[in-house]
Homo-oligomer: A and B are copies of this chain.
Amino acid sequence: MSVKVSVVYFSGYGHTKAVAEVVAAAAQAELISISSEGTLADNDWETLNRSDAIIFGAPTYMGSAPWQFKRFSDDSSKIWAKLGWKDKVFAGFTNSAALNGDKFNTLLQFQTLASQHAGIWVGLGILPASLKASSRNDINNLGGFSGLLVQSPADAGADEIPSGDLETAKLFGKRVFDIAEKFVK
């Protein structure tokens, strides 16, 4: 029996959605979109409950995930009260306009949520490309560790995300799938 992965994300302007799709394809995951009101459909909660691994995705707004993602997190407290997601594998990715832009803090928010749910956290697992010759077309050029970092400049469309970040997204999705499979089988 195959492992079941879900990507639950909020996207404000389509960039995070584009990344979520790349991650989900590589992780063989079901895509769950958080609505503009921060809600999920009932069957989305059931999908998450049945998942072996859950990947969180959101942009970084004002230093952390948008309120819609937080509303989803708050709503998960009913599950938390019974540790309903115990021992699931968790991972996360975030996108913002600046190279750095406090993205670490959004990943920390995801990690902390996963720990509250008694989960297992998987990071990016790839060394950074940080030489003088490195470019935004390289794998993990941003240099993330606890999760996947993506940058899309403030005036860039969802189709203009640096190719290196999207390649990194593929490897990240595959990694979460592989770890979940190793853990669950």
- Is A62 a contact partner of B67 (Cβ separation < 8 A)? no
- Is A120 a contact partner of B179 (Cβ separation < 8 A)? yes
Number of copies: 4
Interface residue? A163 (CB, 8 A): no
Q: Which of A1-9, A18-26, A40-48, A106-114 contacts B (4 or more CB under 8 A)?
A: A106-114
Which of chain B's residues have a CB closer than 8 A to the CB of A131?
153-155
Interface size class of A (residues with CB under 8 A): 35 or more
- Is B62 a contact partner of A143 (Cβ separation < 8 A)? no
A contacts, CB < 8 Å to B: 38, 61-68, 70-71, 73-74, 76-77, 80-81, 83, 86-87, 96-105, 108-109, 111-116, 118-128, 130-132, 134, 141-147, 149, 151, 153-156, 160, 179, 182-183
